[in-house]
Amino acid sequence: MSFSNKEVATAIVDFLVKIIDKKEVSDDNIDSLNVAIDCITDVFDFDRDAVKSVIEAKFNGDNLKQILTKLANETACETSGEDVIVNIPKEDAEIKAKAEALKLEGNKAIAQKDFNLAIKKYTEAINVLPTNAVYYANRAAAYTNLQKYDEAIKDAEAAIKIDPDYSKGYSRLAYAKYVQDKPEEALEAYKRVLEIEGDNATDVMRRGYETAKKRVEESLNQDDNTTDVERTKPASEAPGSNTEATPDFSSMFGNSGAGGMPDLASMLGGGLGGGLGSLLNNPQMMQAAQSMMQDPNTMQKMQAMMQNPAMQQMAQNFASGYTSMDDLMSNPDVQNMASNLFGGPAAGSDSNGDKK
């Protein structure tokens, strides 16, 4: 049963009148209540003397307290047979604290380059609290450092599933996909990173996106471009001819570098006392390299190598002092790149490509 505003106002006035009659408030407050009653009766256009009859007719003589009590009891009866949903927090504070402590141990292991220990600690954190996307993304980073890209991808996808707006999940996924020579999938993941971060996207994120985008474009246009160039080239400009222009080898190591990579000549030369940096500036080295680079296939391999995020990361680690020359030259990725570039087995390998 519904009541009009005027009828509800009448019940309120009745309630206030009874308070005054029983002197349940002070004299000063009684004056205030009388003012309130006058205001209510004026607004809803009824007389104070008519209140009793309206209460008898519309509310069966019940006052406001009785009306509200009955309504509460009726509501309780209606819901008594329903299941009550109790909001229990998913993450107990103690459990979360334990998982965070394990994560910090994993972070410490990463800093010390003990990636296997880092994986162990992140795994323990996941077992304690499997709903935290950060733990999966961190373990993906550890797997990436061990070149276990399949495992890194699984963890990155798990992080994304838990938190679709966690940019590091997509970033880990993009890097692993690119290294696995899946630039289209890497590009989609990098695109999502930029969408999530917006104006907060870092230069590294933007370079990753641009590098993957360039690789996709090159992949799409490579066959068509090769066919068109070979069809239209004069014989005098065929690969290996004396009139073919010598590629600018030094530009591959210039200020911007392929795919936005830093200046490798300055990066590798600055802190080596003339080591690899001076080698890049050696005229004989440059002449030999330029002769080698006259082969379009070699040039293409070199450009692809310089655009590889793994190569960029290794160069940045080397420049920052995180990786020694011995570590760099013994890295399987570097050896494979050298093998692909020069057409022979990687340094430190036998004819089958296995390490000696």
CA distance 183 to 163: 23
CA distance 37 to 205: 68
In CATH terms, 5-74 corresponds, of 1.20.5.420, 1.10.3720.10, 1.10.760.10, 3.40.309.10, to 1.20.5.420
- Structure tokens given for 326: 């011995």
| Residue 255 DSSP symbol | S
Numbered ranges of CATH 1.25.40.10 in the chain: 93-215
**Look-up of token digits 């002449």:** 287
Query: Cβ–Cβ contacts within 10 Å for residue 151, how many?
Result: 16
- Structure tokens given for 150: 């399949």
How does pLDDT run across 92-148, given as a tens digit for each residue?
788 999 999 999 999 999 999 999 999 999 999 999 999 999 999 999 999 999 999
In b/e form, how buried is each residue of 35-62, taking b as 16+ CB within 10 angstroms? eebeebbeebebeeeebeebbeebbeeb
**Alpha-carbon dihedral of residues 312, 132, 202, 119, nearest 10 degrees?**
-20
Which 3 state secondary structure label does DSSP give 347? Answer: coil
Contacts of 179 (CB under 8 A, 6+ apart): 144, 149, 308, 309, 310
CATH code that applies to domain 93-215: 1.25.40.10
DSSP 7-62: HHHHHHHHHHHHHHHTT-S-HHHHHHHHHHHHHHHHHHT--GGGHHHHHHHHHTT-
How does pLDDT run across 50-84, given as a tens digit for each residue?
888 888 887 788 887 777 787 777 655 444 444 44
Numbered ranges of CATH 1.20.5.420 in the chain: 5-74
pLDDT tier, 326 (very low <50, low <70, confident <90, very high otherwise): low
pLDDT of residue 90: 52
Give the range among 47-51, 128-132, 232-236 with minimum mean pLDDT: 232-236
How does pLDDT run across 164-184, given as a tens digit for each residue?
999 999 999 999 999 999 999
- Structure tokens given for 141: 């980073």
What's the pTM?
Answer: 0.43
The CA-atom distances, in angstroms, between 227 and each of 238, 239, 240, 346 are 13, 14, 18, 31
Identity at 302, one-letter amino acid code: M
Dihedral sign for Cα 209, 143, 157, 91, please. Answer: negative
Helices (H), 93-166: 93-111, 115-128, 133-145, 149-162
pLDDT tier, 320 (very low <50, low <70, confident <90, very high otherwise): low
